[in-house]
Amino acid sequence: MNITDVTTGPVSRKILLAIGVLLWSVLCAAPCEADGSTDRSLLEDTKLYVSAPLRWEADGWMKFAGTVLAVGVAHEFDRSVRHAFEPGGGQALDGQDPNSTRDAIPAVALLAGTWAFGALAHDDSERHVAWNMAESAGFSAVDTILLKYLSGRRRPNETANPDEWFQGGDSFPSMHVGVAFAVGTVFAESGGDEHRWLRRTLGYGIAGATAYARLHDNVHWFSDVVAGAAIGMSTAQFVMNRDDQTAQKSGFSVVPVEGGVMFTYWRVP
């Protein structure tokens, strides 16, 4: 048996698929398990993001199992969802994605708009939200690129078979959806509660619309979209958790002293 037989055989494909899903699940669930470090820098956040599985506890493994189950269930509906969007003349298998830029614009506009509002209003909190949106989007993009390379799944505009993995494709998972949910979730769950309904409507609305567009355009399978959404939401949760940990571990306070007050900075190790 030569190397080609080993790497392309059905058993090996199943093993590689399992490894790919496992790695995706680790990257997806890991953001929920950040530690108590208070250093907010891109480098520190990246190190914590990559190493998060080492700190998993019972709830982390539950999220891991739920992630695998969700993708597996979604995969069972790949054909039926594709057919639901199929036009009268059938789906073209030309491999074209003419709306890629259009589908990316809403999430980019939401991020840029948040930053612009913060800059024009001199609102540091909104500029910080924009930074978190960008960081979440970056983590999601790296995750999806890695998993696209590992899975090699062909897109529904290239084949009618949703089980063509390790064929040099780039369908699984959807980067557009991953980035949209990363940006949208941070926007939706950040800031004060006064306008929470509006932030959630915009954030999740844009993310959901992006997912719908990718399915409607026949450039992703349903399980690609579910995987992308899970990655985006989990990376967003990781970044927001890092903010919460920093806020809980340090701060400024005013201490009354004889003859006046004293400003102090405190930090819990």
Statement: residue 188 has pLDDT above 70: yes
Q: Is the pLDDT of residue 1 over 60?
A: no
Q: Give the CB-side neighbour count of residue 251, counting CA atoms within 13 A.
A: 9
> Reduced to 3 DSSP states, what percent helix, strand and coil does the chain have, rounded to the nearest 5?
70, 5, 25
- % residues pLDDT > 70 (the chain): 75
122-124-130-132 Cα dihedral, nearest 10 degrees: 170
Alpha carbon 253 to its chain's center: 36
Comparison of pLDDT for 247 and 119, the residue scoring more? 119
Peptide bond connecting 173 to the previous residue in cis, omega within 30 degrees of 0:
yes
Average pLDDT over residues 78-91: 86
Mean pLDDT, rounded, for 69-93: 89
pLDDT of residue 252: 41
The Cα 163–Cα 214 span in angstroms is 19
Q: Which residue has the higher pLDDT, 254 or 144?
A: 144
Q: CA triplet 74, 77, 79: central angle to 5 degrees?
A: 130
Compute the mean pLDDT over every residue in the chain, rounded to the nearest whole number: 80
Tell me what pLDDT residue 26 has: 43
Mean pLDDT calculated for residue range 3-8: 34
Mean predicted confidence (pLDDT) in 85-102: 85
Give mean pLDDT, residues 35-57: 68
Q: What is the pLDDT of residues 213-265, one digit of tens each?
A: 999 999 999 999 999 999 999 999 989 988 766 554 444 444 455 555 444 44
Q: Is a pLDDT exceeding 60 seen at residue 150?
A: yes
- Average pLDDT of span 64-85: 92
User: What's residue 165's pLDDT?
Assistant: 95
Inform me whether the pLDDT recorded for 54 exceeds 90.
no
Q: What is the DSSP letter of 194?
A: T
Q: What is the pTM of this model?
A: 0.77
Which residue, 136, 162, 148, 10, is CA-closest to 76?
162
